[in-house]
Amino acid sequence: MQKKRISVIDLGTNTFNLLVAEWSEGELPIILHRSKYPTKIGKGGINKNNITDIAILRAKNAFDEMNRISQEFDANKKIAFATSAIRSASNGKEFVKMIEDTYRIKVEIISGDREAELIYSGTKNAVQLNHEPVAILDIGGGSNEIIIANNDQIFWKKSYPLGMTRLLEKFVPSDPMSKADIQLVEEFLKEQLTDLFEVLELHNVKTLIGSSGSFDTFKQILLADGLQVSGLPESQFEIKLKDFFRLHQVFLASSLEERKAMKGMDPVRVELMVIASIFINHLVKEAGFSKLYQSSYALKEGALFELIEKNRNQSALAVE
C-alpha cells in the first residue's frame, strides 16, 4: 500500500505550526516532524484588525522554512488553516492570497466554529474521553475556543475573541502585573463568559482539557520542576490542581525576565503566560472543575485525522 505524506500548517496568531505526517490506508498516522515559528502575526495590529508589515515579513520567513521542510520530507499534499488574527484582519484575504501565490498552498480561512471542530477532532485522538461531558479549551492569541463534548459528540461550542494577544494589547498590564491589573482582567472575563458558565453548569462539566499552547508550557515547567510523569498516554498529561494553583501564583508574581529564566518556559509564551494563567484560573474557579488535563493534540492534528477519515470514507465508497 502506497504511503502518503502530508504537511499541515496552523497559521495561529502567535505561532505558525507545521506538522508532517505519513500514513497508509488502514493504519494510524506517523508524525515525522513538528516545528513552530514565532510569527506573532497579531502583534501590534490585532485590535485594529490589521496585519502589520513587520508581521507579514515574519510570516514569510516562517513560510520559507516550512516550505523547505515540506519539500525535504517529500510531502505530496499540503494544507493550511488561518485562524483568528487573519480572519479578523482587513488585509487578511490579501495576506492569504500572497501566501497561496508564493508557496502554491491552499489556505483555508476558518471560522471559530470550524476551528472548534478541528480542535475537538485533535483532542479526542489524544485524550481518553468517555460518555461524560468535558470542556476542551484552546487558548489562542486571537481567540479562545471552548467545546463541551464527550467521546461521541459535541454538545456546545463557541469561539470567544478573547485571545491572549488581544487581552495583552487591550489592558497593557504592568510588569509584574499589579493586583489592580489582575482584577481588571478578571472582571472583564467574568462579564464576557457568563453564557459559558451557564452551559457548563447545565452539562455538569467537571473536567477541563487544555489543547496544546499554554497548557504545553504548564506541562513543560512542571516536568522541569521534577514532577513525575503520570501513567497516561504521552499525548495526555494530568495537571494536578494544587500544582496549577502553585504555578499560577508564581506567574502572577513574576517579571518578564524571571519568566524567561524559568526551566521549561516556551520563549514564544513568555509575554502571554501570566494572562493565560489568569484565564485558566478564572475558568477553574468559576466552573468548579475538579480535573485538569493537557492534550498534546490540537487543530493541526485534528485536521490530519479529519483528512484521513475522509480518505477512508472515499475509499469505502469506491469499493462499494
The three cell numbers of residue 54 are 513587520
Helix (H, G, I), strand (E, B) or coil at 36: strand
CA separation (Å) from 274 to 33, 80, 103, 134, 225?
Answer: 29, 29, 36, 24, 18
Q: CB of 183 within 8 A of CB of 267?
A: no
Phi, psi of 233 (to 5 degrees): -55, 155
Q: CB of 279 within 8 A of CB of 164?
A: yes
The CATH H-level (homologous superfamily) assignment of domain 113-299 is: Exopolyphosphatase. Domain 2 (3.30.420.150)
Q: CB of 293 within 8 A of CB of 123?
A: no
Look at residue 320 in the predicted model and tell me its pLDDT. 38
26-38: string of b/e by CB count within 10 Å (b at 16+)?
eeebeeeeeebbe
- What is the distance of C-alpha 245 from the center of its chain? 21
CA distance 74 to 84: 30
Strands 16-23, 4-11: pairing kind: antiparallel
Question: Taking phi first (over 0 means left), then psi (-120 to 50 degrees means alpha), and beta for anything else, what does residue 301 get?
Answer: alpha
- Evaluate the omega torsion of the peptide bond into residue 38 and state whether it is cis, within 30 degrees of 0: no
CA distance 116 to 47: 22
Closest CA to 204 of 135, 139, 294: 135
Q: Which amino acid is at 219?
A: K
CA distance 139 to 210: 8
Alpha-carbon Rg for the chain in angstroms: 19
CA distance 284 to 215: 13
Closest CA to 296 of 200, 220, 188: 220
Look at residue 107 in the predicted model and tell me its pLDDT. 96
Could you tell me where in the chain the CATH 3.30.420.150 domains are found?
Answer: 113-299
Second-level CATH architecture of 4-110: 2-Layer Sandwich (3.30)
- How many Cβ atoms are within 10 Å of 62's Cβ, its own excluded? 22
The three cell numbers of residue 186 are 478578571
Tens of pLDDT, residue by residue, the chain (320 residues): 578 999 999 999 999 999 999 998 878 899 999 999 999 999 999 999 999 999 999 999 999 999 999 999 999 999 999 999 999 999 999 999 999 999 999 999 999 999 999 999 999 999 999 999 999 999 999 999 999 999 999 999 999 999 999 999 999 999 999 999 999 999 999 999 999 999 999 999 999 999 988 999 999 999 998 877 666 778 899 999 999 999 999 999 999 999 999 999 999 899 999 999 999 999 999 999 999 999 999 999 999 999 988 877 665 434 33
Strands 30-37, 4-11: pairing kind: unpaired
Could you tell me where in the chain the CATH 3.30.420.40 domains are found?
Answer: 4-110
The three cell numbers of residue 12 are 495561529
Instruction: Report pTM.
Output: 0.94
